[in-house]
Each structure stands twice: as C-alpha cells, then as structure tokens.
Amino acid sequence: MHNTLTRVQNVFGFFTSVAFAVAAAIAISVVLSSQTPSASLQLRNVQVVKGRPHYYSTKREEYAHITFSLDADLSTLFNWNTKQVFAYITASYPSDSPASIPESEAVVWDAVIPAKNAPEHHNTYIHPTKSTARPKTKKERLSLNKAYPPGKEPGILKLDKQKPKYQITDVSGKIAERNNATLTLHWNVQPWVGALVWDNRRTVGRWQGLKGGEAAFEFPPLKATEAKKEDLKTATGKEKNRGSPA
C-alpha cells in the first residue's frame, strides 16, 4: 500500500473478486430452486392457404395458420435468478426422409414474460383479458398491462382460441397434408446471471419435468375456397424494431 495507485488497484481487484464470487453463487444456486410447471395445450384450428405470407416473399407458397388454446402454469420457473421466461409454441412435423433427417420445426407463437423485478420494457407480452370494461382506477389499468391475467402471477397463461404470431411455411413451399404433426409448448428461462435453460420434459433434481403441453394434429389439405381475411389475422407482438431488422 505504498501509494494511492496501489490502494486503488487493490480495492478494485478485491471488488472484482467479490463480484465474481457472488455472481457464481447466484448462478449455481438455481439448482436448489424447485420447479413444478404444468400446461395443457389444444389445437383449435389449422388452415393451409396458398399466398404470400411475408411482405418479402417473392413467390406464392403454402402457409399454415394455426390457432390454439393454452392453459399453463409456469410461475414456479421464476426464482431469484430469473429475469424473464420466453415461452413459445412450435409446430413440428416429420421430414421427407424421417429415417435420416429429423423433424422440421417452426415457432407459431411466442411471449416474453418478465419477472416482477425486471425493469419495464415495451417488448413484453400483455396477456389478453376478457373484461372489456374500461379500467376505472390506475391500479386496474396497470394490472391489465401485465403479462399474466389480473390477480395472478407471472407465468400463468390462460389463452383460448389464441391467434398465432407467425404463419409458417416449409422450405419446400408445401405444407399441406403433412401428417403426424405436433404442437408443443417450450420455454427458455433467461437468468440475471448464469446459464440459460430450456424446457425439460424429464425431472432433473428439484426441477419437475413438464407433462402435457403437447397436441398432435395434421395439416389439412390446401383450402379450396378463398379463406376469409379475418380468419388469417395474426396476433401482433410488442417488438419495437419494425421494418429493417437491427
């Protein structure tokens, strides 16, 4: 400690070591939290239409519009080290040669569910509410802007006849009449510090595996008649970057 510089260096070094140790402790301690997620997922309707699903699509191709119902309790996924849970539902179907090529998979809907102590961000899922009455108090107004139904906690999702966020295509351009397709709920827990984890179907230690959250379906044949525009509406997310992606 023979001069100020050395003292500053020592303090800074000590701070770094302590910060590192605390972060490591937090990251590893999540193994001790217990998780009991549950979900039930049903397909409501699936339509396959030929057209241009995206504004940048250069050719007409078959795309599928899938609506579903979801009743999920992911609240136990939120522990002291959870920053947000990215919940997403995918549709997967076998490839053209299932023996050597695994299933193709595409995201149909996703939601960013922040933890209670996460800072406010516009790109957050807002859970639809049944009540159409205008909120009277500020408390009511705030509770309607949450990622979960009023009176519940983060991770509770109760969706009925939910429209998809994305209309999915296959790389070959043909998605009609594919059988043995599955709709599956997944999640990705984003920590404050440490390892990212995805959904587990098998129980690992104190983390129960998810049972349910799957629905088998089949892609119907191409819609012969013109599909109504309202039927093909998608749910809009809260992403701010529109137009040119960053």
Partner 1 sequence: MFSSLGNLQPRQLAAQVLNFALVLSTAFMLWKGLSVFTNSSSPIVVVLSGSMEPAFQRGDLLFLWNRGQETQVGEIVVYNVRGKDIPIVHRVIRRFGGGSAPLQLLTKGDNNAADDTELYARGQSYLDRSKDVIGSVVGYVPFVGYVTILLSEYPWLKTAMLVFMALTVVLQRE
Partner 2 sequence: MADTKISTQSLADLKNTTDDALGNYLRGLDFKQDNTKIDVRLAIGYASVLIAAATFAADYKLGWEVTKTWTAVAVVAYALLNGAFTYWMWAVEKGCVFDGAREGKKISISTKTKKYDPTYYLTISLADSDSIDIKSPFTTWFTSDGYFVAQPFQQWLASSIEAIGDVDGKNALRDQRDDLAAPTAGVAVLPEGNGTAEASGVDSKAKGSKRSKRKG
Contact positions toward partner 2, by CB under 8 A? 1-3, 6
8 A C-beta contact, residue 64 and residue 46: yes
| Binding region for partner 1 (CB under 8 A) out of 136-144, 173-181, 195-203, 208-216 | 195-203
Residue 68 beta carbon to partner 1: minimum distance, rounded to whole angstroms? 16
- 95 forms part of the interface with partner 1 (CB under 8 A): yes
Q: Which does 2 bind (CB under 5 to 8 A by kind): partner 1, partner 2, none?
A: partner 2
Q: How far is the CB of 74 from partner 1 (least distance, A)?
A: 14
Q: How far is CA 75 from CA 107, 184, 234, in A?
A: 22, 18, 26
Cα–Cα distance measured from residue 206 to residue 35, given in angstroms and rounded to the nearest whole number: 7
Q: Kindly tell me which residue out of 35, 47, 75, 84 binds partner 1, with binding defined by CB under 8 A.
A: 84
Q: List the Cα angle 159/161/162 in 5-degree steps.
A: 60
By CB under 8 A, residue 3 contacts partner 1: no
Q: Does 121 bind partner 1 (CB under 8 A)?
A: yes
Please give the Cα distance from 156 to 241 (Å, whole number). Answer: 27
From candidates 35, 75, 104, 167, binder to partner 1 by CB under 8 A: 104
| Residue closer to partner 1 (CB basis): 151 or 245 | 245
Answer positive or negative: Cα dihedral of 150, 114, 206, 203.
positive
Q: Per DSSP, what are the bridge partners of residue 38?
A: 73
User: Residue 151, by phi and psi: left (phi above 0), alpha (psi -120 to 50) or beta?
Assistant: left
| Shortest CB 224 distance to partner 1, Å | 27
Q: Which amino acid is at 20?
A: F
Q: Which is nearer to partner 2, 7 or 121 (CB)?
A: 7
Q: Which does 61 bind (CB under 5 to 8 A by kind): partner 1, partner 2, none?
A: none
Measured CA to CA, the distance from residue 73 to residue 81 in angstroms comes to 18
Task: Count other Cβ atoms within 10 Å, centred on residue 135.
Answer: 15
Beta carbon nearer to partner 1, 212 or 237: 237
Spatial distance between the Cα atoms of 161 and 68, rounded to a whole number of angstroms: 5
Residue 26 interacts, among partner 2, partner 1, none and using kind-specific CB cut-offs from 5 to 8 Å, with none
Q: 81 and 29 in contact (C-beta within 8 Å)?
A: yes
Residue 53 CB, shortest distance to partner 1, in Å, is 11
- The residue (of 6 and 57) whose beta carbon lies closer to partner 2 is 6
Geometric angle at alpha carbon 234, from 86 and 120, rounded to 5°: 40
Contacting residues toward partner 1, per CB under 8 A = 23, 27, 54-56, 83-84, 86, 88, 90, 95, 100-102, 104-107, 110, 112, 114, 118-119, 121, 123-124, 166, 168, 170-171, 186, 188, 190-196, 198, 237, 239-246
